[in-house]
A and B are shown apart, each in its own frame.
Chain A
Amino acid sequence: MNRLGRLVFGSTLAAPAALFALSALGGSAAQAEDTVTVGFPVALSGFVAPYDDGPRKAALLAIDDINAKGGLLGKKIVTVEADTKSDPGQGATAATEVLSQGAKMVMVTCDFDFGAPAALVAESQNVIAFSSCAADPKFGVQGIGKNAYTMSTTTISQGSTLADWAFKESGFKTVYLLKDTMVEYTKSLCDSFETRWTELAGADSIVGRDTFHGMNDTSIAGQISRLKATDPQPDFVMFCGAINGASAVRQIRAAGINLPLVASESMDGAYWLESVPNLSDFYVAVYGSVFGNDPEPAVNDFVKRFTEKFGAPPVTGHALTGYSVIEAWAKAVERANSFDTDAVRAELDKFNGEQLLIGKTSFSPELHINVDRPMLVMKIVDGKHEPVGRFVTEKLPEIKF
């Protein structure tokens, strides 16, 4: 065998042995009588890591809070983490690792594609897997299994809510749709917005539409020219943009288009605002304000304590989902008076408007994602986020799997 061969074969044989030894050690520690383990097979490195960081830290804060009050059913919650390295393939390995250390519940990545592999492993071992903020309804009974939940508010109700808010609260009458086709989230957001907006204002009120690709379009000059040439000009632009949306907003404002832009949680946070200094007339629907000015005092208190523990406030409101994952599971465990998965799941499925940090939360044996939770609309004025209020659509969209 050549050197490379020995290296490869040597390591493939050695690795499982080492893992087994490690997991045996970890397992025995975790199974101690006075602790219960929560596992985090999430992205600690790579491209998805920033999106798991806030929810994971918030979950750790929630665990601190519970432990400070004496733990859960008298047991202290301990945590184990395994890095999925932002690779869906590694998700299953990471989940296996934390489950072998005795995790009674796992919190997985804030995305269907990246979170599902870990959740499927948990499902196969009959352990509850919560995604922090995967917004696809398939993250549940229909797509993964009866033990999969997500703390997110489904994309289609976000789109619907924004349509209701824009039409009824803001008095906008005409709209221009600008959709990023790079990810499913933004496509689904614009489509659900359009469905509800058409019901409210009629198809004629959509004065124009265009698409761009967040990655492939290095410039959106063409899209800007079409928007500029639209006559009459719309009252506002429904901007379904995501990660690289900042560049698009910069180009739109640089071209002298000062129309109100309405966006959703994918444009949450202030990290991108440097791209568009003194941005105004930009509306964004988020889970909660990370700027200390949320109308809900509990959210501001959370942001304050998060900042104290981790040295910086959460980058986006998605952190709230992580806190509420632990809240929800702990409530269900207490009601079931057991860590048994079947008993806990039965309690979770009874959640009906349960008040959590993230807002009211409902689950049922069929639906493991929220559709009727209000979103906080924020207005950016001169580069500063100001809360407008919490809104939810008056007509809940039909969930299709």
Chain B
Amino acid sequence: MTYAVQTMVDAVSVGALYAMSALGIGLLFGIMRLINFAQSEFVTVGVYTLMLSAGLWFPFAALLAIVVVVLLALAVERAAFRPVRDADPATLLITSFAVSYLLQYALVLIFGARPIGFDLLPQLGQPVLIGEVRIPRLNIVTIVVTVVLMAAVALFLRRTRIGIEMRAAAVDFRMARLLGVRADRVIAVAFGLSGLLAAVVSVLFAAQTGTASPAMGLQLALVGFVATVIGGMGSLPGAVLGGLAVGAVTVLLQAVLPPDLRVYREAFVYAAVIAVLVLRPQGLFRSAAMRERV
């Protein structure tokens, strides 16, 4: 019984990190229709920044990571994506691959490919015991931060002028521009926000793994994309729930599959993803922007 409850806790906590990762990816997709593969390197650069600032006062190190990643996201938007903004989505996708490789190999060049160990917020690894169930503090923090950030992003999109402009751009970019929405500003803010979210993910991920390695953000971003797709392209609650679902299914399968089949766990996870897409091709949630209006 304890094991069952513990597994549910694990499922939610693994899902929460994926959910947060999906939030950043979903945000950019919703506004720009951009599948940004470089999002994984935004997280990785955040982790390396934290590794370099290991030993500094934590709030300062975290702030530094946020500043570095947001500036990186803005620089990437300005240098790589703005010149090809009007190109078709395939060009944008390839550009994001190029940026992703560039950043990854830049990290290999500077730090080498060998993982580097460091100890960030060790106290977060200690569990809180509720009865027999063990909940690492980090998981509680991850869940709380995910909920808070999702609410904050939602408020930002609904209550601020720039947020409303972003939503307008998401529905019809050309019309929004005709009505006076400044495209450069809207897109730069979207990139900045996705950078901010990536930086927060990097803090939580670094506290969990205690390791910096050049390709570590890849899996988070990959699951983030899958989550965005099954959640409903362009829907932020959809992306978050999609991330939660993928994480939860992964942990549950790990718990119930017999040892021989556990090796093939990913196959079962993605079979479930395909099943969702067959039953609901538009994803679990459907954003207003993606609806056909005839």
Choose among B119, B122, B213 the residue that contacts A244 (Cβ–Cβ < 8 A).
B213
Nearest neighbor of A211 in chain B, beta-carbon distance: B262
Q: Is the CB of B10 within 8 A of A256?
A: no
Choose among A218, A229, A246 the residue that contacts B3 (Cβ–Cβ < 8 A).
A229
How many of chain B's residues touch chain A, expressed as a range? 35 or more
| Interface of B: prevailing SS | helix
Nearest neighbor of B104 in chain A, beta-carbon distance: A47
A399 to chain B, nearest CB (A): 24
CA distance A255 to B105 in the complex (A): 34
Interface centre among B11, B117, B263 (most CB of A within 10 A): B117
Known: A181-B263, A209-B259, A247-B208. A255 touches B117 (CB 8 A): no
Comparing B74-82, B83-91, B107-115, the segment that makes contact with chain A is: B107-115
B191 to chain A, nearest CB (A): 24
Q: Is the CB of A277 within 8 A of B119?
A: yes
Q: Is the CB of B10 within 8 A of A218?
A: no
Q: Is the CB of A215 within 8 A of B218?
A: yes
* Seed contacts A215-B219, A221-B13, A275-B119; 15 additional CB < 8 Å A-B pairs: A46-B105, A47-B108, A211-B259, A211-B263, A213-B266, A222-B7, A226-B3, A244-B211, A246-B210, A246-B211, A247-B209, A254-B126, A255-B134, A256-B134, A271-B116
Q: From residue 212 to 266 of chain B, which have CB atoms closer than 8 A to chain A?
A: 213-216, 218-220, 223, 250-251, 254-255, 259, 262-263, 266
What are the interface flags for A232-273 relative to B under an 8 Å C-beta threshold, 1 for contact and 0 otherwise? 000000000001101100110011100000000000000111
Q: How many residues of A contact B (CB 8 A)?
A: 43
Nearest neighbor of B213 in chain A, beta-carbon distance: A244
CA distance A66 to B18 in the complex (A): 55
Nearest neighbor of B113 in chain A, beta-carbon distance: A47
Contacts of A181 in B (CB 8 A): 263
Choose among A45, A228, A256 the residue that contacts B109 (Cβ–Cβ < 8 A).
A45
Q: Is the CB of A246 within 8 A of B115?
A: yes
Nearest neighbor of A213 in chain B, beta-carbon distance: B266
A186 to chain B, nearest CB (A): 12
Q: Is A219 positioned at the interface, with any CB of B under 8 Å from its CB?
A: yes
Contacts of B3 in A (CB 8 A): 225-226, 229
What are the interface flags for A272-283 relative to B under an 8 Å C-beta threshold, 1 for contact and 0 otherwise? 111111000000
